[in-house]
A and B are shown apart, each in its own frame.
Chain A
């Protein structure tokens, strides 16, 4: 049987000297042979992703450095394992390091950063906390704007603001001194409210639209004050400062990564811990009682959220996400003593003004 024969350049991987040889395909021994070359056919691989389509460059799967350069590709069809993968070095290491990387990121994002944030949140001075809240608020306002060009505006109808201040004063009177509050309404349809570092409490227009009574708004207000007092938002802001950079590092900033980063950020941001929510509920119940307001207004607001839950857009995520909403409703109901007599919060005119705060 005749063998295929071609000219080839052999680099032995030991010296830079090219050796011009005649290379033969020996079908009987299933090998490529030539002076100083004896390559079993099953070990021959083509070096992939060649920029020039003219040469055929061959290597041995079991030898990292030897190369054969053939002047044309006519031999290609006769190499049975030409495109088979070359076993890479040390695959096990990949898994070890992958596990180490996942563990280290998890440790940092879920343990170290939260622990440090909890510690540091206590030490941050009031002015610093306020600055943090201010920066976060302006970030949230521009993030919420759908056109992406400006910020969501504050609602500032004077009569509405006066009603809101009245509500604030009523709650503040029942609180210990020294906790500054600053309340805003954002002109956005989301049914939501949140607290930020430095005493910022922010309502969305959607929540005020949906609320059935001033007491319900006050109940949410009291709940958010609960977060402010326990410094939950400060912890939270410090946590995301640490975690988001780490996640950006993992996913890279190439197009695909941006999306994942966005989703991951959402996940981190979604909620405080269940115990933080329960504490804020309990704080709200006490505060409402002390202010002469019915704590079960919180339960009514929760039930409202639950009814709205069918429409998933923009319902207070950190209320809805908890499976134990029913428990929380029950807890808010039982927080009202049987002989409790509420003092009215806003009159009808004031309530109408609050509803119309966004004009």
Chain B
């Protein structure tokens, strides 16, 4: 209390008087008069995010992975608080300890599955088929429904811990229903050679949206699945081009066909980005919350560019530590070869091997850390910013009537999702 600024009162009241009450570009002013449309904004910057990701990642490595629950929480808080709708930031209130708890809970369940089921599968696969491919395949297939289940549960947890204007979001229980539908839709999509992909996209989004709440009001997904068909157009064009390229290859025009294949590949990449963005835009525009509407403006080209540039720059960012690690590796190898040849009287042969090993391990981890921090700052953040800036709430007068919803305890948090990220590497 001693280091009070000299005259905080004057400054504070000054702020109040000089701040124009209706300045729309200043997101810091949440009290802009309630026009009917609320504009989304993103205020976070890449540099602080990079350091936050690097710092928390370093702690995660130092604590043998246990800080990752804190890391995730802190990064989410940062992202959520950077997104402002009508000047009011979102808030993430998840607790690292409840994530740890959820993870422990998932371990109790999954340890049994992974330990016993894998052992049995391994036995059966070797005993009956003399190989372990069947075991890996079956244990992978067995995890797929669990994976969708975990995805829904994780979404439920994240929504339950997200607030805006002091009110909680929520998602109704329904993870097994989601897993069953996801499996069915995937099967249909595969059987229809992708033609029913938009149907899956729509139906799964509808399932999630119709179970999503803001405060005590339920979100509603309007529209129909056929409205997503146009989102496939660039992919269709890429496939068509690929077909033409195959034809060209068949008729002996090798050079032309190569060119066409290249073009088709690039077009496919754009087509996938286009599908992702376009479906999101269309699905968002048809969502409503009790008279409040949503709108999203997003550009597939920008999304693709963020990915390409982001990965390129992140790759450049880790190039230096990676090449140092490579050089160190060659150095250790050659030192060993020389030692094997009895030439260990060379001056640097006395250099402690452990120092080199430790240096190598430190470099190895720092490459991971820098990569993850760079992709946060150069990909995740710009993408989030792009979507946040394009988001609009229309008819926001309806928000006033919305009331709080009770807390969803959700004891297992996103434990299954957390554990299954790992389970995928089984």
Task: Please report the C-alpha to C-alpha distance between residue A105 and residue B168 in the assembled complex, in whole angstroms.
Answer: 35
A255-B368, A256-B365 known; A18 vs B419 contact (CB < 8 Å): no
Q: Is A89 an interface residue (CB 8 A)?
A: yes
Q: Are B64 and A249 in contact (CB under 8 A)?
A: no
Chain A residue, CB-CB nearest to B340: A189
1/0 contact string of B64-106 vs chain A (CB within 8 Å): 1100100000110111111110001101010101101100110
Q: Does the CB pair B60–A256 fall under 8 Å?
A: yes
Do residues A248 and B3 form an inter-chain contact, with CB atoms below 8 A?
A: no
List the A side residues contacting B101 at CB < 8 Å: 93-94, 97
B166 touches A57 (CB 8 A): no
A307 in the interface (beta carbon within 8 A): no
Q: Are A257 and B64 in contact (CB under 8 A)?
A: yes
Chain B residues with a Cβ closer than 8 Å to the other chain, count: 101
Asked if A131 and B108 sit within 8 Å, CB to CB, the answer is no
Q: How near does chain A come to B288, taking the closest CB pair, in angstroms?
A: 16
Q: Is the CB of B115 within 8 A of A108?
A: yes
Question: A88 contacts the other chain (Cβ, under 8 Å)?
Answer: yes
Q: B167 near A78 (CB under 8 angstroms)?
A: no
Do the beta carbons of B426 and A245 come within 8 Å of each other? yes
Q: A243 within 8 Å of B by Cβ? A: yes
Q: What's the nearest-Cβ distance from chain A to residue B166, in Å?
A: 3
Given known contacts A124-B127, A245-B118, A104 and B107 CB-to-CB distance under 8 angstroms: yes
CB within 8 A of A238: which of B105, B112, B122?
B122
Known: A75-B8, A248-B425. A256 touches B112 (CB 8 A): no
User: In this assembly, does B29 line the interface, its C-beta being within 8 Å of a C-beta of chain A?
Assistant: yes
A99 to B44, CA, bound (A): 39
Please choose the segment from B179-187, B198-206, B236-244, B401-409 that sits at the chain A interface, where 4 or more of its residues have CB less than 8 A away: B401-409
A97 to B15, CA, bound (A): 50
- Are A71 and B28 neighbours in the complex by a CB distance under 8 Å? yes
* A80/B118 contact (C-beta < 8 A), A5-B12, A48-B77, A248-B425 known: no
Q: Which of A7-15, A180-188, A270-278 contacts B (4 or more CB under 8 A)?
A: A7-15
User: Is A116 touching B119 in the complex (CB atoms < 8 A)?
Assistant: yes
* B108, A241: Cβ atoms closer than 8 Å: no
Does A340 touch B at the CB level, under 8 Å?
Answer: no
B286 lies within 8 A of chain A by Cβ: no
How far is B34's CA from A16's CA once the two chains are assembled, in angstroms? 13
Least Cβ distance of B381 to chain A in Å?
Answer: 9
A-contact 0/1 string along B32-59, CB 8 Å cutoff: 0000000000111100110010000000
Which one of A72, A77, A242 lies within 8 Å of B4 (CB-CB)? A77
Q: Would A94 and B100 be within 8 Å (CB), given that A16-B165, A57-B89, A89-B95 are in contact?
A: yes
Bound-state CA distance A89–B95 (Å) is: 9
**Do A256 and B400 touch across chains, with their CB atoms under 8 A apart?**
no
Instruction: Give 1 or 0 for each of A12-31: 1 = CB within 8 Å of chain B CB.
Output: 11111110100000000000
Given A4-B12, A249-B111, verify A77-B3 contact (CB < 8 Å): yes
Asked whether, in the complex, the Cβ of B166 is within 8 Å of the Cβ of A65, the reply is: yes
With most chain A CB atoms within 10 A of its CB, the pick from B83, B111, B333 is B111
The 9 closest A-B pairs by CB, nearest first: A51-B82, A11-B166, A51-B44, A52-B43, A242-B119, A49-B77, A131-B130, A101-B104, A128-B126
Given A47-B91, A52-B84, A249-B423, 20 further pairs, Cβ under 8 A? A7-B19, A17-B400, A18-B30, A47-B77, A48-B77, A51-B78, A51-B83, A52-B27, A55-B30, A55-B89, A75-B12, A78-B1, A94-B100, A128-B128, A131-B131, A135-B131, A241-B122, A242-B116, A250-B107, A252-B422
Chain A residues packing against B (C-beta within 8 Å): 2-7, 9, 11-18, 20, 47-52, 54-55, 57, 64-67, 69, 71-72, 74-75, 77-78, 80, 88-89, 91, 93-94, 97-98, 100-101, 104-105, 108-109, 112-113, 116-117, 120, 123-125, 127-132, 135, 146-147, 238-239, 241-243, 245-246, 248-257, 259-260
